[in-house]
Amino acid sequence: MKGVVGLGVIAGVLCAAPWAWAEAVPLTPGEYQVTAVTESSSGEAGKPDTHTRCVKEEHLVNPDAVFNYYALNGFKPNPANKVMNVSMHGGTVSYEIEGLYAITRVEGTVSNTGFSVVRKATPKGDKALSVTMKVDGKRMGDCATK
């Protein structure tokens, strides 16, 4: 149980980043099927979790609004976190998020219809677990209008 609670705390850190980006994510807005798999440094792995989400034009100004699986649940970035070393070019994306308890490195690939990134949170404490989340997204078509 202790590992599950720790995994939840680090998973929250994996998703916490403020909006501080200079260039837009080169995705075409639309409905995306997004799958995430989380694994801790102890070997504990979650099952793949898949949902669809509407990626809108306004999401594309913030890579973490796109490459963050918890954005599906209405997650809001922590404004106290520092976003560093943002790079998006040649079909690749990378950046770091420094939070109070961990540093998260995000790296992957992006095209106009899909993406695949790995988010690795490395804790600042000695005994905490590292957590890695692989997030993949594929455009399925236009967003449903409501």
Q: What is the pLDDT of residues 31-73, one digit of tens each?
A: 999 999 998 877 777 899 999 999 999 888 878 878 887 766 6
- Whether residue 106 is contained in a domain is answered as yes
pTM score, two decimals?
Answer: 0.78
H or E segment to which residue 8 belongs: helix 2-14
- Whether residue 70 is contained in a domain is answered as yes
- Whether residue 146 is contained in a domain is answered as no
What are the angstrom distances between the C-alpha of 5 and each of 13, 34, 128?
A: 13, 24, 11
Q: What average pLDDT is seen over the chain?
A: 80
Task: Kindly tell me if the per-residue pLDDT of 17 is higher than 50.
Answer: no
- Whether residue 125 is contained in a domain is answered as yes
Phi and psi (nearest 5°) for 71?
Answer: -60, -25
Are 130 and 120 spatial neighbours (Cβ–Cβ below 8 Å)? yes
Domain that holds residue 109: 2-141
- Whether residue 75 is contained in a domain is answered as yes
Domain total in the chain: 1
What pLDDT score does 22 carry?
55
